[in-house]
């Protein structure tokens, strides 16, 4: 049975000195007012995209550091080329410079949602619960997260697999405006997600998923270097695939390193529907490129000696260069950027940041 039953009754630790909240923005941070009761105790890392001369207003009382493009260029020098401009992909710079164990990232058009009883959802608390309890990628539990209060492993679930593995990523969902691609948005402009699915579940090993960066938390020590959000936006042929790219990379690496990825609760309220025509222009290459990218990721095999996230990621970048460049020269650039990212990560996070998995288990 679930060994961590005790913790489900104890209050969730705040982790206020161990978690940074990373927010990319070009407009303002008014949305933080609504999150104040839940976020005020945490340190924020704000990554300002777009025009660096603009001043971003941060509501009073929040403890934060803010980086605009000039800061990124100054800090990374030539390596700043790997950080996207004019795309929320730039947020991964925040992951890199954070000094904390955990990251929560949220979009500035995401607000506090309510659960079916009308109670406000503390999304951060749920993400922390998800990250602090094990995942179960090796065997699917039909009652979803067995470590949640009121649940457990079902009959037939092998006892040897009930300890689970460490959770590296917690992927939350969205009520109201769902995360649809442009074609779907065009066909269903009025569709709203009103279904509150009261579940957290582990995405099984060997299965890929579309990771959305709107409401996402992860253990930076376990998977941080793989959370590169790619080359998007200004000067790039593609947009709105930053989180997707990171999601495919982290899932392959988590599967290789024996780490877990959860999806489901918590929900946030996504208020803004972006323009589907603008989205279509950004996404359209991604839509047909992904038909080849997905089989690539499904077939990726990482060698046994890739025992750290960085090693896995560098190996992945080699395979991207080898196998995806033929789709478009963009992937050649992306593979280089992936290497630059790791170099920059290691510079910003020297000695000891590269956590080798003790068993090196493939």
Give the binding site for another protein (CB under 8 A).
1, 5, 116, 139-144, 150-161, 171, 173, 178-181, 184, 188, 191-199, 203-212, 240-241, 243-244, 247, 263, 283, 287, 290-291, 294
Could you tell me the smallest distance in angstroms from the CB atom of residue 331 to another protein? 17
44 versus 211: smaller Cβ distance to another protein: 211
Q: Residue 142 in contact with residue 151, Cβ under 8 Å?
A: no
Measured from the Cβ of residue 87, the count of other Cβ atoms closer than 10 Å reads 25
96 versus 110: smaller Cβ distance to another protein: 110
Measured between alpha carbons, how far is 87 from 163 in angstroms, rounded to an integer?
40
Residue 347 structure tokens? 């510079």
Measured between alpha carbons, how far is 294 from 105 in angstroms, rounded to an integer?
25
Cα-only R_g, the chain: 20
Measured between alpha carbons, how far is 299 from 283 in angstroms, rounded to an integer?
24
- Return the H-helix or E-strand segment holding 63: strand 63-67
Measured between alpha carbons, how far is 140 from 123 in angstroms, rounded to an integer?
24
Could you tell me the smallest distance in angstroms from the CB atom of residue 29 to another protein? 24
Could you tell me the smallest distance in angstroms from the CB atom of residue 60 to another protein? 35
Q: How many residues does the chain have?
A: 362
Measured between alpha carbons, how far is 205 from 96 in angstroms, rounded to an integer?
26
**What DSSP assignment string belongs to 149-169?**
TT--PPTT--GGGTT-B-EEE
Could you tell me the smallest distance in angstroms from the CB atom of residue 225 to another protein? 22
Could you tell me the smallest distance in angstroms from the CB atom of residue 268 to another protein? 14
211 versus 320: smaller Cβ distance to another protein: 211
Q: How far is CA 272 from the centre of its chain?
A: 20
Could you tell me the smallest distance in angstroms from the CB atom of residue 204 to another protein? 4
Measured between alpha carbons, how far is 306 from 299 in angstroms, rounded to an integer?
16
Name every residue whose Cβ is closer than 8 Å to that of residue 352 and which is 6 or more positions away in sequence: none
24 versus 98: smaller Cβ distance to another protein: 24
75 versus 199: smaller Cβ distance to another protein: 199
Could you tell me the smallest distance in angstroms from the CB atom of residue 125 to another protein? 18
Could you tell me the smallest distance in angstroms from the CB atom of residue 154 to another protein? 5
**Interior angle at CA 138, CA 342 and CA 227, nearest 5:** 20
DSSP 293: H
79 versus 251: smaller Cβ distance to another protein: 251
Buried b (16+ CB within 10 A) or exposed e, 257-271: bbbbbbbbbbbbbbe
Could you tell me the smallest distance in angstroms from the CB atom of residue 36 to another protein? 28
3 versus 14: smaller Cβ distance to another protein: 3
Measured between alpha carbons, how far is 284 from 239 in angstroms, rounded to an integer?
9
Measured from the Cβ of residue 171, the count of other Cβ atoms closer than 10 Å reads 24
78 versus 156: smaller Cβ distance to another protein: 156
24 versus 56: smaller Cβ distance to another protein: 24
């Amino acid at each position: 049975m679930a060994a961590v039953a005790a913790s489900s009754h104890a209050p969730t630790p705040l982790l206020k000195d161990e978690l940074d909240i990373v927010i990319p923005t070009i407009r303002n941070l008014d949305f933080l007012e609504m999150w104040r009761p839940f976020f005020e105790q945490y340190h924020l890392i704000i990554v300002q995209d777009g025009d660096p001369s603009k001043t971003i207003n941060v509501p009073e009382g929040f403890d934060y550091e803010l980086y605009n493009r000039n800061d990124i260029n100054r800090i990374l020098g030539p390596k700043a080329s790997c950080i996207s401009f004019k795309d929320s992909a730039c947020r991964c710079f925040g992951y890199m410079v954070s000094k904390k164990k955990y990251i929560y990232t949220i979009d500035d058009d995401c607000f506090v949602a309510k659960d079916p009883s009308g109670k406000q959802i503390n999304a951060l608390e749920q993400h922390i619960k998800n990250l602090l309890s094990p995942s179960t990628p090796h065997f699917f539990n039909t009652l979803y997260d067995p470590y949640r209060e009121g649940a457990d492993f079902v009959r037939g679930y092998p006892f040897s697999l009930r300890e689970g593995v460490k959770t590296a990523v917690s992927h939350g969902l969205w009520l109201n405006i769902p995360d649809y691609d442009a074609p779907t948005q065009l066909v269903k402009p009025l569709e709203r997600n009103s279904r509150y699915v009261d579940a957290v579940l582990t995405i099984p090993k060997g299965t890929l998923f579309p990771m959305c960066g709107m409401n996402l938390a992860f253990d930076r020590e376990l998977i941080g270097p793989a959370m590169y959000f790619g080359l998007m936006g200004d000067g790039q042929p593609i947009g709105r695939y930053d989180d997707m790219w990171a999601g495919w990379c982290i899932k392959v690496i988590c599967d290789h390193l024996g780490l877990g990825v959860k999806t489901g609760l918590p929900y946030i309220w996504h208020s803004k529907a972006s323009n589907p025509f603008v989205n279509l222009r950004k996404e359209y290459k991604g839509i047909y490129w992904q038909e080849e990218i997905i089989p690539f990721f499904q077939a990726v095999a990482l060698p046994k000696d890739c025992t750290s996230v960085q090693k896995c990621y560098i190996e992945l970048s080699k395979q991207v260069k080898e196998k995806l460049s033929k789709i478009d020269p963009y992937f050649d650039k992306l593979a280089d950027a992936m290497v630059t990212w790791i170099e920059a990560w290691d510079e910003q996070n020297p000695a000891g940041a590269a956590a080798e998995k003790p068993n090196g288990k493939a």
